[in-house]
């Protein structure tokens, strides 16, 4: 069940331009113009967008909903929905709830059975992926990494083993450190550094992580940045020498060739028949 039938209002997540105001869709304009209430990450920025789009920016229709007040604002928004009103939600740029406020409001509205829908549109993540030149068939969205500590190290470690293309968001002043950290754990993988997307000074830098570290080390970066990181190659399969060494350890520990083959095949991700053949050969050579 996706929402109430014939009762209650609806919550509409509206994607807004990530830079170029001309990217606001006709449907988004209609929803923002007709909504009873518009929840904004920053009412000042939304007022500018509405004015540029020829829409009324009545302050009584606009309320703030950002990372610091979202939980406190939810009861008020739910009252508007219970009254049968249409509530639009916008972030400063892109799609609400995607590394932006809105997720907890959506969860609350869904829990009460209200209709929750969206007007799709501009996305820095998808735009960066599409212009990166990297594999777009499968990708991982990482958002903003923790700034420091164990959480950051764990997330970087996960990226090091991620075989899919990964998308990371970063503030301009921390781009150089992010690239340095990625190079340290991921090696010299391909990367695209995208900034000021859809704006006058849009730039997409493409190359290797090593070259990116050098290119951005002493550079002042302006605008929000999306980093698209090429995936890790598939892990190398162990050769016969590695399998033989592992089998030898299991046989020395008292395993039968069959037991040794089972253990080694599971541990190294190799065919059991291959491990068993090596185990039999080792047993015969030492018997």
| Fold category of 125-229 in CATH | 3.30.950
Report the share of the chain in percent with pLDDT over 70. 97
Reported as a single tens digit per residue, the pLDDT across 85-125 is 999 999 999 999 998 999 999 999 999 999 999 999 999 99
pLDDT of residue 2: 42
The residues spanned by each domain of the chain are 10-122, 125-229, 240-286
Q: Kindly report, residue by residue over 20-63, the tens digit of the pLDDT.
A: 999 999 999 999 999 999 999 999 999 999 999 999 877 779 99
- Is 15 exposed, middle or buried (CB count within 10 Å of its CB: 0-12, 13-18, 19+)? buried
pLDDT band at 134 (very low <50, low <70, confident <90, very high): very high
Q: What is the pLDDT of residues 59-72, one digit of tens each?
A: 779 999 999 999 99
pTM of the model: 0.78
CATH code of the domain occupying 10-122: 3.40.1010.10
pLDDT in tens, 136-159: 999 999 999 999 899 999 999 999
- Quote the pLDDT of residue 121: 95
SS (H, E, C) the chain: CCCCCCCCCEEEEECECCCCHHHCCHHHHHHHHHCCEEEECCHHHHHHHHHHCCCCCCHHHEEECCCCCHHHHHHHHHHHHHCCCEEEEECCCECCCCCCCCHHHHHHHHHCCCEEEEECCCCHHHHHHHHHCCCCCCEEEEEECCCCHHHHHHHHHHHHHCCCEEEEEECHHHHHHHHHHHHHHHCCCEEEEEECCCCCCCEEEEEEHHHHHHHHCCCCCCCCEEEEECCCCCCCCCCHHHHHHHHHHHHHCCCCHHHHHHHHHHHHCCCHHHHHHHHHHHHHHHC
Model confidence pLDDT, tens digit, residues 212-258: 999 999 999 998 899 999 999 876 778 888 888 988 888 888 888 89
């Amino acid at each position: 069940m996706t929402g109430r039938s014939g009762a209650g209002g609806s919550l509409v997540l509206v994607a807004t331009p990530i830079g170029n105001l001309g990217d606001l869709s006709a449907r988004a304009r209609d929803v923002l113009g007709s909504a009873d209430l518009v929840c904004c990450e920053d009412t000042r920025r939304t007022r500018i967008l509405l004015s540029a789009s020829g829409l009324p920016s009545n302050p009584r229709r606009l309320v703030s909903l950002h990372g610091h007040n979202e939980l406190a604002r939810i009861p008020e928004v739910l009252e508007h929905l219970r009254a049968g009103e249409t509530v639009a939600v916008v972030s400063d740029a892109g799609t609400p709830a995607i590394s932006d406020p809105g997720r907890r409001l959506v969860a609350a509205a869904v829990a009460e059975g209200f209709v929750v829908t969206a007007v799709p549109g501009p996305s820095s993540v998808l735009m960066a992926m599409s212009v990166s030149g990297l594999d777009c068939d499968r990708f991982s969205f990482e958002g903003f990494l923790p700034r420091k500590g164990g959480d950051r190290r764990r997330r970087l470690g996960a990226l090091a083993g991620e075989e899919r293309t990964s998308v990371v968001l970063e503030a301009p002043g921390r781009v150089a450190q992010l690239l340095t950290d990625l190079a340290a754990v991921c090696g010299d993988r391909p990367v695209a550094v995208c900034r000021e997307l859809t704006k006058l000074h849009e730039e997409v830098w493409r190359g290797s992580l090593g070259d990116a570290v050098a290119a951005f080390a002493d550079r002042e970066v302006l605008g929000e940045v999306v980093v698209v990181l090429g995936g890790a190659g598939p892990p190398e399969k162990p050769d016969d020498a590695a399998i033989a060494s592992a089998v030898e350890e299991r046989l020395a520990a008292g395993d039968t060739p069959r037991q040794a083959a089972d253990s080694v095949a599971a541990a190294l991700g190799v065919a059991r028949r291959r491990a068993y053949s090596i185990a039999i050969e080792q047993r015969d050579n030492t018997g």
